[in-house]
Structure 1
Amino acid sequence: MGIGWSLFWIIAGLALWVTVDFMLGRKQHLAKARKCVFPDRRSDLEIFAKGPELFEDLFSEIKKAKQHIHILFYIVKDDKISHEFVSLLKEKAQEGVEVRLLVDWIGSNLKRKTIQSLKAAGVEFAFSHIPKFPFLFYSSQVRNHRKISVIDGHIGFLGGFNIGNEYNDRDPKLSPWRDYHLKLTGEGIVDLQEEFLHDWHRAKKINLLQDKAYFPELKKGSIRQQLVPTEGDSLQDLIVTLISEAQQSLVIGTPYFIPSKKVFDHLQAAIRRGVSVTVLVPYKSDHILVKEASYRYLRSLLKEGADVYQYLKGFYHAKVMIIDDNICDIGTANFDKRSMFLNYELNCLVYDPAFIKKVKHILTEDLLDSRKVSLSDFSRANIFLSIKETAARTISFFL
């Protein structure tokens, strides 16, 4: 048998293994996915759109912690802001504060030496979503994309920021980094704490969910909100429900616009019933092919009459939807297939008109720092672009 045929059978065998691994892994994933619907809560909310302001506040709250610090990030880099973050956690652990840090196995860039120093200082550390047999390929694709911080069971953070220089406006290509992150106080913290402890239990096989020390009595806040965790199984249905409820306007901000067919069909249907649809995406890209994967969807929306904007002042990484000025969705999930079908995500639905007005004000600023695109911007004849779009379309599920 020649080298050509040998290579063919190797490729064919690999493709078969990946296909079977993915199909069976997906089946197992859906069977084990945790179904959770948290109730409406009353909390006080603050929104951050700039990294330096968020990190100043987050680090300040960590410094004031007296009992326990629970933190989950998809990415913790090995750079200046990350070293500051790690040093702060070690200091608090050495003071006697319980510190738990959970990071995604693939997303995080922490070095072994750094992890060892955290453990030596008393920080309890774990990786989330380590790929496992028998479905090695599928499990490597399912990432914990959540960003959760809970301090003393009274203060919480969630949103789009990770820990790294680019998130703190220290990247020459992507700065300034634009993102939305929430700070919560009030009774909604109980759900944020529960979600972290579920992820901790999954990663460390240590169940702290029944320990009342992590669930202090909380006062009601002024804003009605609801936390919605998803595990690659129900985000699509949530998005479809929100789109279906829109009667007048729908604004979507996302770094990656790669919707599922069902979501995109409902989005087109909303435009056809008279809903004004606005989509804000970045002009710059932080990952290969994600822009090209979005072009066919954006073309279709432009033909239907939607408004599409590209953010020009740095990189836009926020994840937001505003429906009729009545509901605002901010969280960790992107408007893409990976978030809908693979990643573990956590979003916050907000039903408070005054807070939604604040978010709209931030969105208005971001739209002013953007350019409104036309169909011709995505329709220029370019063979190289066509090849990239075809490639992006082929692997869009994993982008």
Structure 2
Amino acid sequence: MIEFLKDNWFKLIIVINYLLAISAAITILFRNTNPTKTLTYIIVLVFFPFVGLLVYYLFGQEYRKNKIFNRKNILNEKIIKTLNDELNLNTKELQELEDDFLEDKIKLVKLLQKSDKAPLTLSNTVEILNNGEVKFKRLFQDLNAAKHHIHLEYYIVKDDVIGSEFLNILCDKARAGIEVRLSVDDVGADISHKMKNKLIESGVQFYSFMPVLFPKFTGRMNYRNHRKIAVIDGAIGYLGGINISDSYVNKPEKETYWRDTHLRIEGGAIVTLQAQFFINWEFVSESKVKITRDYFPNESCNDNVAVQIAASGPDTDWANIMDVMFSAITSADDYIYLTTPYFIPNDEFIMALQIASLSGIEVKLLIPDESDSWIAKHATNSYLERLFKANIKVYRYTKGFIHSKTMVVDDVFSTIGTSNMDYRSFKINFEINAVIYDKQTSEDLKADFIADLRNAKEMIPEEWSKRSNFTKLKEAYCKLWAPLL
């Protein structure tokens, strides 16, 4: 028997590999998920022995179904439930809004209220913050002025120059008796042990989201917390594309210009943003926070900007951000302007854009000229042919790298947040967007989009069709991996 094993050990390993691969394939088939994604996993399992199983282990586990994430505890908290009930608009109020300015966009409001328990808040002040240098100036002012608590949830935090300034402010505030809670993604963040010890010694409550053994080698592992949230004293909130790192600050000596967009909010929308923070905090800290009214001061706001907070991730029953974007596209009457660093959508999203464009709606997409990911760049390129066939205009940003995640429709609807327009953001990662129903904000975001086009080149379909067969092969290869990106 021993001799047999010695002579046939490799064959036995191959047999075991394929038994496990068949078991995994059956599990995927029973999951009844997207056929393209299902086929991709099966191909990887069959044609890439051992590697296929590793890919499935890292990317294919369906935690959404396994219920390791649970948001009901927080959403059922008496205070949050009461506040949400107070904020939810009744049928008559929704009808009045529809008559006043929302028109057919009211279905977007109803979608989020029903699927995500995200009430539409009517009393908000919003401020669009273009680029890191603007965001950090405002954020640091608000952090330094905090009186009760600071809640932070970021994908990337580094203790470089800007990151150290940020973290030192948190230490100072914690030593001054302010409650400071900081959650960072274990894959995205890069904080030294020395700084981590300083945070903890200063009294900052600090946790990493879903720790992994080798974070530097698992940059694409599933179920990462891609959000960038700040809530200060329950009165001020931040969300958008800008993480905490020098990469997001444009200095004269910096080689690559970084174009990004963030949002500062005051008003009723902070209730939902704060609740979303507590949902993930309970998960990362494995402890229950005593939630009191101090975290929800319900401070009055003089402006009347209508805002909903859309959150999605493995803890939500629906892909809320994708759903509301899809609905906005299908309800557009005039134009749709989209900016994203990664455009790897599903077929339904592409078809919605195609139908909108073919029905006479102006559709423009702004993406980077040079990406920070080789495979994401070519995967994005694989979708452009379908856009060109529907007369959708595509622009490549040439001034630097554009990382903004924005969408504006018809001078009525706009969204700013953390979600890219790709499989990972729509279906896998934790993401959060502000959905804004306001003419002035939409016009401001539209103006920013048009200004960015001045630093972009329009792609010419005829020229694009002449790219080499080798380039097309790279696109086809990367598109194969698109459902896993």
Fold shared by both chains (TM-score > 0.5): yes
How many angstroms apart in 2 are the aligned matches of 1:108 and 1:178?
21
- Go from structure 1 to structure 2 and tell me whether the alpha carbon gap of 1:140 and 1:308 turns closer, same or farther (over 3 Å shift): closer
Q: Work out whether residues 73 and 145 of structure 1, in 8 Å CA contact, stay in contact via their aligned partners in 2.
A: yes
How many angstroms apart in 1 are the aligned matches of 2:236 and 2:325?
27
Q: Work out whether residues 58 and 221 of structure 2, in 8 Å CA contact, stay in contact via their aligned partners in 1.
A: no
Find the counterpart in structure 2 of residue 224 from structure 1.
306
1:205 to 267, 283, 286: 286
Find the counterpart in structure 1 of residue 52 from structure 2.
15
After TM superposition, the structure 1 stretch with the greater mean CA deviation from structure 2, 19-28 or 320-329, is 19-28
- The Cα of 1:59 is off from its aligned counterpart by 0.6
Find the counterpart in structure 2 of residue 240 from structure 1.
326
How many angstroms apart in 2 are the aligned matches of 1:193 and 1:214?
8
- Go from structure 1 to structure 2 and tell me whether the alpha carbon gap of 1:22 and 1:29 turns closer, same or farther (over 3 Å shift): farther
Q: Work out whether residues 174 and 284 of structure 1, in 8 Å CA contact, stay in contact via their aligned partners in 2.
A: no
User: 1:65 is matched by which residue type in structure 2?
Assistant: A
How many angstroms apart in 1 are the aligned matches of 2:223 and 2:362?
34
- The Cα of 1:96 is off from its aligned counterpart by 1.3
2:367 to 281, 289, 294: 281
How many angstroms apart in 2 are the aligned matches of 1:210 and 1:139?
34
How big is each residue's C-alpha offset from its partner over 1:264-298, in whole Å with a ceiling of 9 and x where there is no partner? 12221212222211001111211222111111211
User: 1:25 is matched by which residue type in structure 2?
Assistant: E
2:166 to 68, 82, 85: 85
2:130 equivalent to 1:49: yes
Q: Secondary structure at the match of 1:141?
A: coil
How many angstroms apart in 2 are the aligned matches of 1:189 and 1:27?
26
- The Cα of 1:77 is off from its aligned counterpart by 1.9
- Go from structure 1 to structure 2 and tell me whether the alpha carbon gap of 1:30 and 1:271 turns closer, same or farther (over 3 Å shift): farther
- The Cα of 1:183 is off from its aligned counterpart by 0.4
Q: Work out whether residues 336 and 362 of structure 2, in 8 Å CA contact, stay in contact via their aligned partners in 1.
A: yes
- The Cα of 1:99 is off from its aligned counterpart by 0.8
1:297 to 370, 378, 383: 383
User: 2:262 is matched by which residue type in structure 1?
Assistant: H
After TM superposition, the structure 1 stretch with the greater mean CA deviation from structure 2, 384-393 or 71-80, is 384-393
Q: Secondary structure at the match of 2:421?
A: coil
- Go from structure 1 to structure 2 and tell me whether the alpha carbon gap of 1:27 and 1:215 turns closer, same or farther (over 3 Å shift): closer
Find the counterpart in structure 2 of residue 343 from structure 1.
429
After TM superposition, the structure 1 stretch with the greater mean CA deviation from structure 2, 207-216 or 103-112, is 207-216
How many angstroms apart in 2 are the aligned matches of 1:110 and 1:20?
27
Find the counterpart in structure 2 of residue 254 from structure 1.
340
- The Cα of 1:380 is off from its aligned counterpart by 3.5
2:442 equivalent to 1:356: yes
How big is each residue's C-alpha offset from its partner over 1:294-322, in whole Å with a ceiling of 9 and x where there is no partner? 11211211121011111111111111111
Normalised TM-score (structure 1): 0.91
Q: Secondary structure at the match of 2:62?
A: helix
Q: Work out whether residues 337 and 446 of structure 2, in 8 Å CA contact, stay in contact via their aligned partners in 1.
A: no
- The Cα of 1:337 is off from its aligned counterpart by 0.8
Identity %: 33
1:38 to 100, 103, 118: 118
Aligned length: 395
How many angstroms apart in 1 are the aligned matches of 2:254 and 2:463?
22
Q: Work out whether residues 21 and 138 of structure 1, in 8 Å CA contact, stay in contact via their aligned partners in 2.
A: no
Q: Work out whether residues 174 and 315 of structure 1, in 8 Å CA contact, stay in contact via their aligned partners in 2.
A: no
How many angstroms apart in 2 are the aligned matches of 1:170 and 1:12?
47
Q: Work out whether residues 411 and 438 of structure 2, in 8 Å CA contact, stay in contact via their aligned partners in 1.
A: no
2:230 equivalent to 1:149: yes
How many angstroms apart in 2 are the aligned matches of 1:138 and 1:19?
15
**What stretches of structure 1 of length at least 5 have no aligned partner?**
none
Q: Work out whether residues 306 and 438 of structure 2, in 8 Å CA contact, stay in contact via their aligned partners in 1.
A: yes
Q: Work out whether residues 267 and 298 of structure 2, in 8 Å CA contact, stay in contact via their aligned partners in 1.
A: no
Find the counterpart in structure 2 of residue 70 from structure 1.
151
**What stretches of structure 2 of length at least 5 have no aligned partner?**
1-6, 18-47, 72-114
Find the counterpart in structure 1 of residue 395 from structure 2.
309
- The Cα of 1:85 is off from its aligned counterpart by 1.0
- The Cα of 1:27 is off from its aligned counterpart by 5.3
How do residues 156-235 of structure 1 correspond to structure 2 at under 5 angstroms?
156-170=237-251, 175-208=256-289, 210-220=291-301, 221-232=303-314, 233-234=318-319, 235=321
1:390 to 476, 482, 485: 476
Find the counterpart in structure 1 of residue 408 from structure 2.
322
How many angstroms apart in 1 are the aligned matches of 2:341 and 2:58?
29
After TM superposition, the structure 1 stretch with the greater mean CA deviation from structure 2, 144-153 or 289-298, is 289-298
Q: Secondary structure at the match of 1:289?
A: helix
- The Cα of 1:120 is off from its aligned counterpart by 0.9
Q: Work out whether residues 194 and 209 of structure 1, in 8 Å CA contact, stay in contact via their aligned partners in 2.
A: no
- The Cα of 1:65 is off from its aligned counterpart by 1.0
> Which structure features the higher share of helix residues?
2
How big is each residue's C-alpha offset from its partner over 1:105-132, in whole Å with a ceiling of 9 and x where there is no partner? 1111112222111101111101113359
1:101 to 168, 171, 182: 182
How many angstroms apart in 2 are the aligned matches of 1:36 and 1:261?
23
Q: Work out whether residues 187 and 219 of structure 2, in 8 Å CA contact, stay in contact via their aligned partners in 1.
A: no
After TM superposition, the structure 1 stretch with the greater mean CA deviation from structure 2, 330-339 or 373-382, is 373-382
Larger Rg: 2
Q: Work out whether residues 26 and 138 of structure 1, in 8 Å CA contact, stay in contact via their aligned partners in 2.
A: no
Q: Secondary structure at the match of 2:471?
A: helix
Normalised TM-score (structure 2): 0.76
How many angstroms apart in 2 are the aligned matches of 1:114 and 1:365?
39
Q: Work out whether residues 165 and 171 of structure 1, in 8 Å CA contact, stay in contact via their aligned partners in 2.
A: no
How many angstroms apart in 1 are the aligned matches of 2:156 and 2:445?
25
Q: Work out whether residues 339 and 404 of structure 2, in 8 Å CA contact, stay in contact via their aligned partners in 1.
A: yes
- The Cα of 1:217 is off from its aligned counterpart by 2.4
How big is each residue's C-alpha offset from its partner over 1:38-93, in whole Å with a ceiling of 9 and x where there is no partner? 11112100001121111011011111111111111110123111111111111111
